[in-house]
Amino acid sequence: MQATHEEGVAAQAAQMGEQAHGGAAAVAHEAAQAASHGGGFDPLHQFQIHPLVSIRIGEVDFSFTNSSLWMVIAVALVTIIFLFGENRMIPGRLQSVREMAYEFVANITRDILHDEGRPFFPFVFALFLFILAANMLGMIPYSFTVTSHIIVTFALAVVVFLLATIVGFVKHGFRYLKLFVPSGVPLFMMPILVPVEVLSYFTRPISLSVRLFANMMAGHTMLKVFASFVVALGIIGGWAPLAMMVALTGLEFLVAFLQAYVFMVLSIIYISDALHPEH
C-alpha cells in the first residue's frame, strides 16, 4: 500500500513536469524544420555530441566527448561536496545541504523499503545525486545536459531494471514470477493479464528513461526558442520573451529537481517490487 501511494505521488509529479513542457516538442520540431530550410536557427544544436579527444580502437569509437566531460564534472562535483567538505558540530551552509540531501533520500528509502532498504541506500543516493547534478549543471549557459540524451537515461534505467530483477530472483528464486500473476484474478483472465504484466515489466526501463530525457530536452529546447525571440525582436519587442525566459528558467530548475526525484522514487519502487513481489 505504501509503495502504491509513493508510485501515485511519483506519477503525479512526473505528470506535472510533462504538462509544464506541453507543446515544447512541437515548437522544437517547427524550429528545426525552419533551420533545415535555411533559417539558420536550430534549437537542437545544443544537444549535439562533439568529440574532444578522439580515441578509436579498431572499428569502435571510444572518443572522449563533451557529454563525457560533463558527466565527469557532475561526478567530481558531487564527490567534492560530499567527501571533502568539513563536518562541524554547528553545520555551515554546505554541510547543511549535505545533511538535507542525505536525510531526504534516506527518509524516502526508509518509508518504501523499510529496514530492507539499507543495502540499497548508497546506490539510490548516488543515482539521485548524479542525475540532480547533471540536470543542474545543464542549466549553466553553454554547458551540456547529459540527461537530455536517451542513451544516457536509458543506461541508468537499465542498471536499475537489472538490479531489481537480480534482487528479485536472488531472494525469491522462481517464485519471483508471481509478480506477473496478479492475486485474486480469475483463472480464465490469466492468459490476458499475464502478457500485459510481462510487457509492463519489460517496458519499465523505457518509460523511466524517456520521462527524464523528454522533460529535460523539451525544457532546454523551449528556453532556446524564447532566447531566439529575444534576439530577433530586439530591445523594443524582446521584453516579453525575455520575461518568459526568466519564468521558464525558474521552472526548469524545479523540473531538474523534480525529474531526479521521480527517477529515484520509481527506482526504489521497482526494488520494492523485487523484495515483495506479492504486493
Which three three-digit cell numbers place residue 136? 543542474
**pLDDT average, residue stretch 25-40:** 43
pLDDT band at 272 (very low <50, low <70, confident <90, very high): very high
The answer to whether the pTM exceeds 0.85 is no
Helix axes 150-172, 239-275, angle to 10 degrees: 20
User: pLDDT per residue over 205-262, tens digit each?
Assistant: 999 999 999 999 988 888 888 777 777 777 776 777 778 878 888 889 999 999 999 9
pLDDT of 62:
86
Query: Pseudo-torsion of CA 197, 200, 204, 209, nearest 10°?
Result: 180
pLDDT at residue 15, rounded to an integer = 55
Q: What pLDDT sits at residue 27?
A: 39
pLDDT at residue 60 in the model: 85
- Per DSSP, the three-state class of 64 is strand
- pLDDT, position 38: 39
Distance CA 215, CA 135 (A): 11
Beta strand spans in 126-183 (E): none
Please compute the mean of the pLDDT values over residues 99-105 and round it to a whole number.
Answer: 93
Residue 225 pLDDT:
82
> Of 28-32, 69-73, 147-151, which range is least confident?
28-32
Element (DSSP H or E) covering residue 253:
helix 239-275
Q: Which carries the bigger pLDDT value, residue 216 or residue 9?
A: 216
pLDDT at 28: 42
Residue 77: all three cell numbers together = 562535483
What residues contact 269, with CB distance under 8 A and at least 6 apart? Answer: 3, 6, 7, 10, 112
The cell for 29 is 520540431
| Mean of pLDDT over the chain | 82
Q: What pLDDT score was predicted for residue 269?
A: 94
Q: Which residues contact 69 (CB under 8 A, 6 or more apart)?
A: 52, 144
Looking at per-residue pLDDT, the higher value among 225 and 23 belongs to: 225
Alpha carbon 40 to chain centroid distance?
A: 31
pLDDT band at 8 (very low <50, low <70, confident <90, very high): low
Lowest-pLDDT choice from 114-118, 244-248, 267-271: 244-248
Which pLDDT score is estimated for 156?
96
Q: What is the pLDDT of residues 67-83, one digit of tens each?
A: 999 999 999 999 998 88
Dist. CA 270–CA 279, nearest whole Å: 12
Choose among 192, 171, 170: nearest CA to 180: 192
Residue 56 gets the label, from left (phi > 0), alpha (psi -120 to 50) or beta, of: beta
Give the model's pLDDT for residue 36: 43
Confidence label for 100 from pLDDT (cuts 50, 70 and 90):
very high
